[in-house]
Structure 1
Amino acid sequence: MSTYKLICPHSHSRMRISTSEGKHIFLRVACLQCTHEGCGWSVRAEFEMTHEMSPSRMANPEVRLPLATAAQRHAAMVSATDQPGLLDPLEKERAI
């Protein structure tokens, strides 16, 4: 299992979640902070569940999300072993 890496767009250091609150069954609001001592950037973020990739074997009738398209499911399977960080494209642009 992989974890999602959040990267500060300023210092390119890891971000940490300082607080997190569930707003809805499919929505979580979090405050993120850069771990670089010299940066100090913080931001509010929202994490939303939007599509079902595969059905649960313990289905809750309150959970109703649209099924992801075949292309979305395929892309998730391909990237599951090499999941990029949230802001990795910015890091690559700066390197060029």
Structure 2
Amino acid sequence: MSYKLVCPHCHSSLRIRTSEGQHIFLRLAYLQCTNEACGWSVRAEFQMTHELSPSGMPNPAVRLPLANAAIRRQAMKSADDQPDLLDQLEMETTSR
């Protein structure tokens, strides 16, 4: 499963042009809208925040808080239960 990033202006997909690691748990990414007429670009941060399950090969330097039950339940939801963000935005746009 992959996550689709969506332009909030034109609802086209965004692509990651480049990214750079800032920390073991933080990556900066520079995104660009794939719609040339829109051309929006943005900087984003992707951060690891909670451990859902322990690693089978733990690194002592990796220390994240264990996710609470609510976060783990959310992570366990099937992808089939959740509409794709792009599809959801398209449905909202057409219903206006």
TM category (shorter chain) comes to 0.7 to 0.9
Percent of paired sites with the same residue: 66
Aligned residue runs from structure 1 range 1-96, under 5 A: 2-81=1-80, 82=82, 84-85=84-85, 93-94=92-93, 95-96=95-96
* Larger RCO (CA within 8 A; separation ≥ 6): 1
Q: 1:20-70 CA deviation, whole Å, 9 max, x = no partner? A: 000000000000000011110000000000000100001000000000001
In the superposition, the TM-score normalised over structure 1's length comes to 0.86
Structure 2 residue matching 1:73: 3-state secondary structure: helix
Runs of 5+ consecutive residues of structure 2 not aligned to the other structure: none
Tell me the TM-score normalized by structure 2: 0.86
Gaps of 5+ in 1: none
**Paired residues, what number?**
94
Distance in 2 (CA, whole Å) between partners of 1:89 and 1:4 is 13
